[in-house]
Amino acid sequence: MKFLISLAWKNLSRYRRRTIITAVAIAIGIALYIWIDALLLGAEMETVRNLIYFETGPARIMQKKYWEEKDYMLISYYLEDPAAIQAELKKEGYESTQRISFLGNIMNLEQQEGSFQIKMAAIDAKTDGVVFKLEDGIVPENGRFLESGEPEIIIGKDLAEDLDIKLDDWVLVTTKTAGDVYGEAGSWDDLELKVVGLLSTPNPLINKGMAFIPLDYAKQRLMRGQGATDVIVNFPAGADSGSEVEKIKAAIAGLPGAGDWEVLDYKELAREFIMLASTKSGGSKIILFLFFIIAVIGISNTMLMAVFERVKEIGMMRAMGMKDRAIVWAFFLEATGIGFVGSLVGLVLGILLTAYMVIWGLDFSGMIQGMGNIGYRTAGVFKGWWNFDTMLSAFFMGIIISGLVSFIPALRAVRMQITECLRDK
Amino acid sequence: MRLTEIAFRNIWRNKRRTLLTMTAIAVAALVIVFMFSLLEGLKYDQRNTVIKFTTGHIRIRNADYERNELLNPLQYNIKDYKQVLKVLNSVEQVDMLSPRIQFGARFGVDKDTYGVYKKEFDARGLGVDFTTEDQFQDLNIYLKKGGSLPEHNEILLTIGLAHDLKAEVGDTFDLFIAQTMGGLGFNSRNVRVSGIVEFPVATVNKNLFLMPLDDVSSLLRMDVQEKKSAIEILIILKNPDDIKSKAEKITAALNQANIPSILYDPAQPPAKDYEGLVVTSWTDASAWYAWLQMADISYNLIAFLFFILGTSVIINTIMMIIYERMKEIGTIAAMGMTGRQIMLLFFLEAFFMSVIASFLGVIVGAGLATALGKLDMTQAFEGLDFDIATVIVLRLNIRSVVFTFIYSVVVASLASFIPTIKAARIEPVEALRST
């Protein structure tokens, strides 16, 4: 075996040109595959990141009934003692915040030119920041974040523009309160609110169609002082959301009424959205697969060629008494060696390319007309996302494919007559 | 012996080598052609969606509506739209017209004991003229579960909305519609579901329903002296090239008929006090167009990466087979062939091989794309709480097929120079000694 390894190594350095060409083929294939995967994933993750930081949060606890009828956002299905849930979670080390999520009709109080329905949330000004990044969306010239207990509101910047609202203007929000009987709808209520901040986040849905009011004020007006529709729980970005959900469920299982609650991660919360977004972005799986085909053909072809060209050499080795098996192994080792070198270079190159895409991204915003109208800053910049699974599997695929492919010509050569081999062109 | 003849014979001399080279070139060409039809299909789909559902090739609206679009100010409409349609129909370039009213509406579901609805479900309503809309959006094709196009007091539900409302054809609903002049008052009307429609675009199916335009106009109190109004008119042109000049013609025709209109110019939006109609080409209905441009750029980026990879595969293969034949180059050089002749010989070999291979590649790729026709992505949607058939239609574009063919021939042929330039200069003995 030691001999075979040293033979393979010698062969690699002996045919330097061939080694280089083959390794380059592998490296380019691997690097580009890693890169395109990072790009496609980046496009998907952009939406997911915006979703977690601004809409869903990592995980959410709410009444099962509220979730069943999520489209209606019925605040009459509320959690009666959200603070107790938060306290239990705190014991397990989970940070959390509570919200009342509901639908409201918003209108410019002064102009009264028409209203439209938006998603709203009443947020705890003190703890909302442990889960969401709304506060980053307000730059000083656009006002300030909410303060507890006041009849005030912060709204998306584009929404404000559509309503012709400026800072310190007043809006009228009409919404339904929770009923006297648990689960029954209440009456309509009008909230007059002062606009104290305009949100400009990387999430266009927030900018275009959401507004936030202080939790305690909303509790008084809509819930008769108690309860909230959801408790949103934070966990680290890279964590496995499935097992985190299980841990959260376990942590709150002892509380009264826990059987009626639903604990869902962001994937479940925004299931339709995530699926629509990923499929809409256009069978990125198919694109990846097509890319994979060219890469594999490139690698295997170069390798096949490199070994086929050496049938004469194989004939020579056989004539000199080398065992067939040893020959096949020697070529396998050599091919694996090239595969390793090529894949390693490809991996490094792929990581560098991806790093560039993750940190800086490609800025095409100059090429798009009328950018101002899209109105959020990420448009036109393509960013990547780390996918270590792909990097690892691409690296090993490069090595394995190279190694396996070498068997085809080597096995064929050892089955030929030695004289045939030697006569091979 | 002529070089072409030698080159052609050389190709068949070592069949295995030729086969491998041609496979590399053919597969690269095949996959690229296939990728192009996939991207082309995606692009077409997105454009078609935007044009058919949102902007038309050209869209006509009231200037005040355009300014306050999100408030959906129904009072700023196109009065007596039938008169406008008549004028538009007289313009030669116009193929199809679709007058529309978008409006917000609310369905009440499950009354409680006090007669209050437990749930009120918001939906987007679209008033259309079903006599022409059927052709405009191919409604009959998308009609599912029997049913027919709506008549008076009937509506057409999209499949997602039908699912949410648990509605079947023939069911009736209380429909609430916000009145025209702002405020929060609602008109209500009891409507019957005449049919359920499933559009090929997932997002459209979510919460939209369609209703006869003239019904909507009166329900929303938009009629003026018995004359019906519409919010917008979408125009599909016979030939969508050079939209701007056609939009100009349409604007002129409207003005001639005493309907004040201007052409929308993004650099110079209509004055604040202008109250007439605005004619907008879809390339200026900016948010959508910008979004499509962005999608196009990402597709071009993907295509570009395919070309880089394809190019590297082809170059590598060609370099490999020529380097392996250094000895041969030495032999022919020793027999008196000049460097230039050698270069030309290998160039021709690569050229012949690549012509055959890329021809086969693009033909098979094109055949595959045509045979598959569309990729059914419905499975990707499993788990969504209503079923949406989403297919990616593959669209073969002759231009991209020809381009791919030429591309692979050029890359392969030029790649032959990389090894031969050096080979042609070395001494024959050097080349003969080469391993």
| Three-class secondary structure assignment of chain B | CCHHHHHHHHHHHCHHHHHHHHHHHHHHHHHHHHHHHHHHHHHHHHHHHHHHHHHCCEEEEEHHHHHCHHHCCCCCCECCHHHHHHHHHCCCCEEEEEEEEEEEEEEEEEECCCCCEEEEEEEEEEEECHHHHHHHHCHHHHEECCCCCCCCCEEEEEHHHHHHHCCCCCCEEEEEEECCCCCCCEEEEEEEEEEEECCCCCCCCCCEEEEEHHHHHHHCCCCECCECCECEEEEEECCCCCHHHHHHHHHHHHHHCCCCEEECCCCCCCCCCCCCEEEEECCCCHHHHHHHHHHHHHHHHHHHHHHHHHHHHHHHHHHHHHHCCHHHHHHHHHCCCCHHHHHHHHHHHHHHHHHHHHHHHHHHHHHHHHHHCEEECHHHHECECCCCCCEEECCCCHHHHHHHHHHHHHHHHHHCHHHHHHHHHCCHHHHHHCC
B326 close to A (CB below 8 A):
no
pLDDT higher at A390 or B225: A390
**Distance (Å) from the C-alpha of residue B327 to the closest C-alpha of chain A?**
11
Report the mean per-residue pLDDT for chain B.
Answer: 83
User: What six digits make up the tokens of A326?
Assistant: 């040893």
Q: Are A276 and B202 in contact (CB under 8 A)?
A: yes
- pLDDT of residue A369 exceeding 80, the answer is no
Determine whether A325 is exposed, middle or buried from the number of CB atoms within 10 Å of its CB (0-12, 13-18, 19+): exposed
Q: Read off the DSSP letter of residue A102.
A: E
Task: Kindly list the domain boundaries of chain B, sorted by start residue.
Answer: 3-49+290-433, 57-281
Q: How far, in Å, CA of A56 to CA of B395, rounded?
A: 37
Residue of chain A whose Cα is closest to the Cα of B27: A294
Could you report the per-residue pLDDT of A3-19, keeping only the tens digit for each?
888 888 888 888 888 88
Contacts of A295 in chain B (CB under 8 A): 309
Q: Are B361 and B26 in contact (CB under 8 A)?
A: yes
Contacts of B182 in chain A (CB under 8 A): 107, 112-115
Supply the ipTM of this predicted assembly.
0.74
Confidence at residue B391, expressed as pLDDT on a 0 to 100 scale: 64
DSSP A138-175: --GGGB----TTSSEEEEEHHHHHHHT--TT-EEEEEE
- pLDDT of residue B331 exceeding 70, the answer is yes
User: What six digits make up the tokens of B254?
Assistant: 């409207």
**Distance (Å) from the C-alpha of residue A171 to the closest C-alpha of chain B?**
13
Confidence at residue B99, expressed as pLDDT on a 0 to 100 scale: 93
A10 close to B (CB below 8 A):
no
Confidence at residue A90, expressed as pLDDT on a 0 to 100 scale: 92
Q: How far, in Å, CA of A235 to CA of A248, rounded?
A: 10
- pLDDT of residue A271 exceeding 60, the answer is yes
User: CA of B37: how far to CAs of B45, B49, B139, B374, in Å?
Assistant: 12, 18, 26, 10
Of A147-151, A320-324, A421-425, minimum mean pLDDT range: A421-425
Q: Are B283 and B289 in contact (CB under 8 A)?
A: yes
Q: How far, in Å, CA of A21 to CA of A349, rounded?
A: 16
Q: How far, in Å, CA of B126 to CA of A32, rounded?
A: 46
Task: Kindly list the domain boundaries of chain A, sorted by start residue.
Answer: 2-50+281-423, 59-234
Q: Are A24 and B316 in contact (CB under 8 A)?
A: yes
B309, A271: Cβ pair inside 8 Å? no
A382 close to B (CB below 8 A):
yes
Confidence at residue A372, expressed as pLDDT on a 0 to 100 scale: 42
Interface test with B, best of A297, A362, A416 (most B CBs within 10 A): A297
Average confidence (pLDDT) over A43-67: 84
A30 close to B (CB below 8 A):
no
B105 close to A (CB below 8 A):
no
Average confidence (pLDDT) over A211-236: 89
| B42, B320, B375 member nearest A21 (Cβ) | B320
Contacts of B42 in chain A (CB under 8 A): 282-283
Q: How far, in Å, CA of B136 to CA of B98, rounded?
A: 7
Contacts of B70 in chain A (CB under 8 A): 116, 159, 162-163
A381 close to B (CB below 8 A):
no
| B20, B317, B377 member nearest A283 (Cβ) | B377
Residue of chain B whose Cα is closest to the Cα of A38: B302
B363 close to A (CB below 8 A):
no
**Distance (Å) from the C-alpha of residue A292 to the closest C-alpha of chain B?**
10
**Distance (Å) from the C-alpha of residue B57 to the closest C-alpha of chain A?**
18
B34 close to A (CB below 8 A):
yes
- pLDDT of residue A89 exceeding 60, the answer is yes
- pLDDT of residue A202 exceeding 80, the answer is no
> Rounded to 5 degrees, what angle do the CA atoms B293, B299, B304 make?
125
A297, B316: Cβ pair inside 8 Å? no
Q: Read off the DSSP letter of residue A361.
A: -
Q: Are B168 and B207 in contact (CB under 8 A)?
A: no
| B13, B31, B286 member nearest A293 (Cβ) | B31
Contacts of A308 in chain B (CB under 8 A): 16-17, 20
A282, B68: Cβ pair inside 8 Å? no
B424 pLDDT band (50/70/90 cuts)?
confident
Confidence at residue A194, expressed as pLDDT on a 0 to 100 scale: 93
Contacts of B16 in chain A (CB under 8 A): 308
Confidence at residue B68, expressed as pLDDT on a 0 to 100 scale: 75
Question: In b/e form, how buried is each residue of B164-201, taking b as 16+ CB within 10 angstroms?
Answer: bbebebeeebebbbbbbebeeeeeebebebbbbbbbbb
Contacts of A18 in chain B (CB under 8 A): 320, 323-324
Determine whether A119 is exposed, middle or buried from the number of CB atoms within 10 Å of its CB (0-12, 13-18, 19+): middle
Could you tell me which of A110, A40, A6 has the C-alpha nearest to residue A278? A40
- Which stretch of DSSP H or E encloses residue A117? strand A116-123
Cβ within 8 Å of residue B341, ≥6 positions away: B3
Q: Among A85-94, A359-368, B293-302, B313-322, which range has the highest average pLDDT?
A: A85-94
How do strand B277-281 and strand B261-263 relate by DSSP bridges? parallel
- pLDDT of residue A266 exceeding 50, the answer is yes
User: What six digits make up the tokens of A103?
Assistant: 């639908």
User: CA of B101: how far to CAs of B32, B80, B81, B183, B360, in Å?
Assistant: 43, 13, 11, 19, 52
- A-facing residues of B in 156-175 (CB < 8 A) are 164
Interface test with B, best of A44, A72, A316 (most B CBs within 10 A): A72
- B-facing residues of A in 321-360 (CB < 8 A) are none
How large a percentage of chain A has pLDDT more than 70? 92
B312, A29: Cβ pair inside 8 Å? yes
Other CB atoms closer than 10 Å to residue A160's CB: what's the count? 24
Of A363-367, B268-272, B358-362, minimum mean pLDDT range: A363-367
Q: How far, in Å, CA of B178 to CA of B220, rounded?
A: 8
Contacts of A291 in chain B (CB under 8 A): 305-306, 309
Could you tell me which of B30, B32, B19, B34 has the C-alpha nearest to residue B317? B19
**Distance (Å) from the C-alpha of residue B160 to the closest C-alpha of chain A?**
12
Question: How many contacts (CB atoms, under 8 Å) link A and B?
Answer: 201
User: What are the two backbone dihedrals, phi and then psi, of residue B36, each rounded to the nearest 5 degrees?
Assistant: -60, -40
Of A52-56, A164-168, A170-174, A306-310, minimum mean pLDDT range: A306-310
Other CB atoms closer than 10 Å to residue A149's CB: what's the count? 13
**C-beta pairs of A252-258 under 8 Å, 24+ apart in sequence:** A252/A61, A252/A85, A252/A88, A252/A89, A254/A88, A255/A81, A255/A84, A255/A85, A255/A88, A257/A80
Residue of chain B whose Cα is closest to the Cα of A313: B435
Of A4-8, B180-184, B229-233, B360-364, minimum mean pLDDT range: B180-184
A150 pLDDT band (50/70/90 cuts)?
confident
Q: Please, what is the end-to-end C-alpha distance for chain B in angstroms?
A: 28
Confidence at residue A367, expressed as pLDDT on a 0 to 100 scale: 62
**Distance (Å) from the C-alpha of residue B256 to the closest C-alpha of chain A?**
31
Residue of chain B whose Cα is closest to the Cα of A71: B121
Determine whether B101 is exposed, middle or buried from the number of CB atoms within 10 Å of its CB (0-12, 13-18, 19+): buried
Determine whether A271 is exposed, middle or buried from the number of CB atoms within 10 Å of its CB (0-12, 13-18, 19+): middle
- pLDDT of residue A180 exceeding 80, the answer is no
Could you report the per-residue pLDDT of B181-223, keeping only the tens digit for each?
444 456 778 889 998 888 776 667 778 899 999 888 888 888 7
Confidence at residue B233, expressed as pLDDT on a 0 to 100 scale: 93
Q: How far is CA B351 from the centre of its chain?
A: 36
Confidence at residue A375, expressed as pLDDT on a 0 to 100 scale: 37
How do strand A152-156 and strand A185-199 relate by DSSP bridges? parallel
Could you report the per-residue pLDDT of A277-299, keeping only the tens digit for each?
555 455 677 888 888 888 888 88
Classify A223 as helix, strand or coil: coil
Cβ within 8 Å of residue A422, ≥6 positions away: A312, A315, A316, A319
Interface test with A, best of B9, B10, B21, B70 (most A CBs within 10 A): B70
Could you tell me which of B372, B299, B398, B380 has the C-alpha nearest to residue B47? B299
A18, B297: Cβ pair inside 8 Å? no
Report the mean per-residue pLDDT for chain A.
Answer: 84
B379 pLDDT band (50/70/90 cuts)?
low
User: What six digits make up the tokens of A148?
Assistant: 């507890």
Contacts of A71 in chain B (CB under 8 A): 121, 164
Confidence at residue B158, expressed as pLDDT on a 0 to 100 scale: 87
Q: Are A191 and A151 in contact (CB under 8 A)?
A: yes
B352 close to A (CB below 8 A):
no
A278 close to B (CB below 8 A):
yes
| B164, B184, B286 member nearest A370 (Cβ) | B286
Interface test with A, best of B25, B33, B118, B378 (most A CBs within 10 A): B118
